[in-house]
Amino acid sequence: MLLEAGVLKLGRSRPIQLGATCAMSFESIPLNRYPVLRTADPEFARSRLLAVFGATSFDAALAGLNSFKVGANHLTFGDVDLCFCAYDTEVTLGFGADRYVRQLFNIDGAGRWNAGSRSGDIVRGSSASLLPAQVPIKFLFGSNYRHLVLRIEINSLRRYLGLLLGHDVDGALTFEETSRPSAMERLRRTVFQFALDFDTHGAGFSELATAEMKRSLIMNFLMYHAHNYTHLLLREPLASTISSVRKVEEYIEANWDRPTDIEALSAIAKVSARSLFRQFRKSRGYSPADFVKRVRLEHARDMLQQPDDQTSVTQVALKCGFQNAGHFARDYRLSFGELPSETLKRRSRFNFRQS
């Protein structure tokens, strides 16, 4: 794909300035709907990386200047960012002591990172060690390097952890340097699926679906990584009551079209999120998230049974908080014995005969 200097606006991305002509192909890489940089100009690359990602330094090996190319895509939700970066030339990149915890998911090439007194190698296909907030970071990326980076604000992680535990997290949240490979592979799949879903639907995502995806990503991050509060997450939670479960179900039914507010659910039940989840499992045999799904599937069926000329399965799925159309179709069929497309088609034929 050839991109000329100018202004490009795609999806929900803000307008971006493109540097000198860059022939790097970006059509099949993560977050291609959200470009912020395509350039063969080192100075332009430096200015954009500093302005968009908050980098404090950028230098490139300019011996092969004719082959210099840099590209970056950026999807942000305020306290959560997902970034794809590609460097065709060896570069060094620095960040100050900022508020983000970072996880690098290598796609191609090799590199090295340094964070305070810690350092490590980045190898092809790896999930690099978690890089802490409030510590200056330096990267060295080799030529033909590609990665996807998840950044989450440390205060957001602390807030969600507090909801899981049922009390505020006053102390530091410190992640261990090593994590289980199986957990990191699950997290990697979650992050890349997150990017793929936004590449597929882009601005078509409802606010509800977006908020649910963000919440799930942060919760998974806290559960998959070992940290100084992991032992509290693993201990037996305090019991809640069946009346608390009923109150939460009533709240969910009344607010099905809003993002699931874990803080509100915990406040209604007067227990931690973990205790609430445990009581749901014990008394209902499913989780609060399963109940939310059931309620939303019921509303989705109502919409498909009362379609207008603009109704589509994808539109209904996104409106009801289902970001993945395939998963929505599977869950719908398990619940109602037919695909959502079959419900829509049958009702549309009925409406046609009635007209």
pLDDT tens-digit series, residues 51-64: 999 999 999 876 55
- According to the model, what pLDDT value does residue 255 have? 85
pLDDT at 249 over 50: yes
The answer to whether 149 and 104 are in contact (CB under 8 A) is: yes
pLDDT band at 20 (very low <50, low <70, confident <90, very high): very low
How much of the chain exceeds pLDDT 90, in percent?
Answer: 41
Asked whether residue 24 carries a pLDDT value surpassing 50, the answer given is: no
pLDDT of residue 331: 93
Locus of tokens 């102390």: 171
Nearest Cα to 83, choosing from 36, 137, 39, 125? 36
Q: Using one digit for the tens of pLDDT, what is the confidence trace for 143-201?
A: 999 999 999 999 999 988 888 787 788 889 999 887 788 889 989 998 998 898 888 87
pLDDT bucket at 223, cuts 50 / 70 / 90: confident
pTM: 0.70
pLDDT of 27-44, one tens digit each? 568 998 899 999 999 999
Higher per-residue confidence, 24 vs 73: 73
pLDDT at position 107 is: 94
Q: Mean pLDDT, to the nearest integer, of 303-317?
A: 89
The residues, any chain, with a CB within 8 Å of residue 329's CB and separated by 6 or more, are 313, 339, 340, 341
Q: For residue 231, count other CB atoms closer than 10 A to its CB.
A: 9
The answer to whether 48 and 39 have CB atoms below 8 angstroms apart is: yes
CATH code matching the domain that covers 6-224, chosen among 2.40.160.40, 3.90.25.10, 2.60.120.10, 2.160.10.10: 2.60.120.10
- The CA–CA distances, whole Å, from 53 to 1, 193, 258, 287 equal 24, 22, 30, 37
Q: One-letter amino acid identity for 272?
A: S
How confident is the model at residue 352, as a pLDDT? 45
pLDDT tens for each residue of 104-131? 999 999 999 999 889 999 998 888 778 9
**Which segment, 111-125, 231-245, 335-349, is predicted with the most confidence on average?**
111-125
CB 17 within 8 A of CB 36: no
CA-closest candidate to residue 91, choices 56, 118, 62: 62
Domain segments of the chain as ranges: 6-224
User: Which tokens in the block code for residue 35?
Assistant: 């470009």
- Span 326-349, mean pLDDT? 89
Burial 318-335 (b: 16+ CB within 10 A, else e): bbbbbbbbeebbebbeee
As to burial, measured by CB atoms within 10 angstroms (0-12 exposed, 13-18 middle, 19+ buried), residue 275 is buried
pLDDT of residue 63: 54
